[in-house]
Amino acid sequence: MSGYILVVDDEPAISEMISTSLEMAGFNVKLSANGALAHQMIINDRPDLVLLDWMMPMMSGIELTRKLKRDDRTADIPVILLTARGDEDDRISGLDAGADDYVVKPFSPRELIARIRAVLRRTNTSGDGMLSAGKIELDRSSQGCNIAGNDVSLGPLEFRLLEFFMLHPNRVYSRAQLLDRVWGGNVYVEDRTVDVHIRRLRKAISIEDQDKLIQTVRGAGYRFSPDE
C-alpha cells in the first residue's frame, strides 16, 4: 500500500464510519482498536497520518501521541486527535502533547476530511508528494524515480531506502537503524542485508554520479549528502 491513514479507535462503529468516509474521498485506510497495536503498526508500516481517539484502553490517544513525538522515527508523522473532550484546557493538552490538530466529536465526515487535507498540506508528509535532491526526483505517489531526465527503475526496498535518505539528508544512520526504519521493527534480517540493497540502489542511481550522494561512513553506517 502506497501511503495510508491509520484510524485508531476502540469503537468499531466509529472506525467503520470514518474508514468508509475516507475511502470514498480517495484515501487508503487501516484500522487499529488500541494504542499499543497502533504503535507497532506505525513502526512497521509508516502511515501518512494518524487519526487517534483520545479515550482508549491500554494506551490513551494522548499517551500514544507523546510516544510518537518523542521518537525520531515517528516524530514527523502528523496526528489528529479525535475526542469528545472539547473544552479549552483539553484542546491545549492535546496540542501540547504534539498533536497537529484536534477534532471534537460529533463531527461531520466533510469537516474531518477537510482537516486531514489541511494537515497533510501543512506537514508535507503525504505520500502524494515529490522529493528532489541533486538531480534525483522521486514521485512518492507513483513510486517513480527520475534522474537528470532519465526514468530509473527501483525495487520496492530500494525506493523506500532512497525515500528515507531524501527525507533525512546529511545524517548518518547505522545498518540497524536503517533496518528498523525502512524494513520495519518486526523484520529479522542480518545487518549486511542493508549493504546489499545500498549497492543495488547505488547502481540504479549511478546516472551522472548521483550514486556518490550515498556515502559510507566507516564504522558508523551510511549518509545521504545532497549538499556535497
pLDDT of residue 129: 72
Identify the three-state secondary structure at position 105. coil
Distance CA 27, CA 5 (A): 7
Cβ atoms 183, 157 nearer than 8 A: yes
- Torsion angle of alpha carbons 120, 101, 96, 78, nearest 10°? -30
Give CATH 3.40.50.2300 domain extents, the chain: 5-123
pLDDT beneath 70, residues of the chain: 1-2, 85-91, 94, 122-128, 184-189, 228
Sheet holding 214-217: strands in order across? 172-173, 221-224, 214-217
Q: What is the pLDDT of residue 225?
A: 92
The predicted structure's pLDDT at residue 30: 94
CATH 1.10.10.10 residue spans of the chain: 130-224
Q: 47: phi > 0 → left, psi -120 to 50 → alpha, else beta; which? A: beta
Whether the full predicted model's pTM is greater than 0.85, yes or no, is no
Specify the pLDDT at position 198.
94
- What is the per-residue pLDDT for 82? 87
d(C-alpha 31, C-alpha 45), whole Å: 13
Please name the CATH architecture into which domain 5-123 falls.
3-Layer(aba) Sandwich (3.40)
Q: What is the pLDDT of residue 94?
A: 66
CB–CB of 85/65 below 8 Å?
no
Q: Residue 125 has what pLDDT?
A: 46
Collapsed DSSP state (helix, strand, coil) of residue 48: coil
Domain 130-224 classification at class level: mainly alpha
The amino acid that residue 18 corresponds to is I
